[in-house]
Structure 1
Amino acid sequence: MTQEIEICEQRFTLHPSGSLFWGEKSILMISDVHLGKISHFRKFGAAVPQQAINANFNMMDAVSAYFNPERIIFLGDLFHSHLNYEWRHFEDWTSRTTAKITLINGNHDVISDSKYEGLGIEVFDEHIIDDFLLTHHPEMREGFFNFCGHIHPSVKISGIGKQTLRLPCFFKKLDQMILPAFGEFTGTYTLKPKKKDEIFALADGVVIKI
């Protein structure tokens, strides 16, 4: 189940995958996929099943089919590190994807821009569309609403019996929204919301406003 919100008189849909769809522009935003991380773990002996590699690509296929966007913008850390086995999966995925693809460079994006450009992907350090500033690291800039990633935000929820639960979330401030990490095996960082912050947690295929 998704959640609909309005920001700067524009409609956005929050998806349980952690992706965000901008209705008026037909843009799908995805942050922190960290492709190649599973292969990296396997290379150094971690017992991660081979089929786990397909999980990120299957989810990208699913969310693309759900929204049918004209454009997909990755808000940084698309790949975890240097080229490895998963690049071939990514080449295959891009060949099947009809949407225009854009990458906003993140701190893990060390693969040469020319490799992405060879697949028809445009690469930026930041990108401005109307009143919206798209970056990897959170950035506050006067006059713009910032969409970003990097933090892998989660929120801590406490129950009556002192039990606690940490859930990945969309973390919205007055002029900024931090997207949750899209990728498998990425981990999270717990943020403590302030009074005016809005939290949209992801749990069991549902986006829940906390």
Structure 2
Amino acid sequence: MNAVAAELAGEQVLLLPQKALYWPAARTLMVADIHFGKAASFRALGVPVPRGITSENLASLETLVTAYDTRRLVFLGDFLHSKAAQATATLQAMLDWRGRHRELELLLVRGNHDWHAGDPSTLLDVAVVEEPFACGPFALCHHPDVAGEGYVIAGHVHPVFHLRTGRESLRLPCFLLGTTRTILPAFGAFTGGHSLIPQASDKVYLVADGLIFQIEKR
């Protein structure tokens, strides 16, 4: 798989084009803002949206935990989108996936949507913690502006970057790597994104068509 190596707080990590971060030394995979059940939540409100989003998200996780030596999978907030995401079909799909990966330690750092949606079913065996959660040299968070002792790795803002060339323009998911924090793009397949203006010290890595690459800011 295409991946980009980076050093954060003295640790080597891999930025993955599937919009995830892998920390080899701790055998830990991190994703942010998966928003399980978001499509179901919209359908519950009468909004016609595509089905199969949960299966798509789970298939992406399957690919990653199979490709990388993963002992722990960390969700950096917004595991469930809303209370409607607790629907039976959504839970069953997650339980089927969990049944194939009982050896994995699952950890959720609560995000703003998690407070409204409620914690995951106990059947999923997900440990739930508050932010900031200390993990080696890192402070694992949902919100990137939370003060923690350690280098912050977070999500929440679903960062995208406007890539412009001539009259063409693309909004692409991105990783933002700063001196004190890294923000991951939203992992979920039905999440959207928000344009951010990088700070001068930030490094920006775009994700597109299964590739990840750094851009030079102007």
Deviates more, 1:21-30 or 1:6-15: 6-15
CA RMSD between the two structures: 1.6
Q: Within 5 Å, give how 1:180-195 maps onto structure 2.
A: 180-195=185-200
1:9 lines up with 2:26 in the alignment: no
Identical columns (%): 33
Give me the whole-angstrom Cα distance separating, in 2, the residues matched to 1:54 and 1:119: 16
Query: Which of 94, 97, 102 is equivalent to 2:98?
Result: 94
Cα contact 1:169–1:200 (8 A) shared by 2:
yes
Contact (CA 8 Å) 1:2, 1:13: kept in 2 or not? yes
Aligned residue pairs, count: 208
**Alignment partner of 1:103 out of 102, 108, 125:** 108
Structure 1 residue 203 and structure 2 residue 204: aligned? no
SS in 2 for 1:187: coil
Conserved? CA contact 1:37–1:80, under 8 Å: yes
So what's the TM-score if we normalise by structure 2? 0.89
Question: Is 1:116–1:123's contact at 8 Å kept on the other side of the alignment?
Answer: no
What TM-score results when the alignment is normalised by the length of structure 1?
Answer: 0.92
Alignment correspondent of 1:80 = 81
C-alpha deviation, 1:44, in angstroms: 3.1
Counterpart of 1:192, as a letter, is: I
| SS of equivalent to 2:99 | helix
Q: Does 1:175 align with 2:180?
A: yes
Match of 1:155 among 141, 158, 161: 161
Q: Which amino acid in 2 is paired with 1:181?
A: A
Query: Once the 2 structures are TM-superposed, how far is the Cα of residue 140 of structure 1 from its aligned partner?
Result: 5.1
Q: CA deviation at 1:199?
A: 0.4
Could you tell me how far apart the structure 1 residues matched to 2:96 and 2:127 are?
17
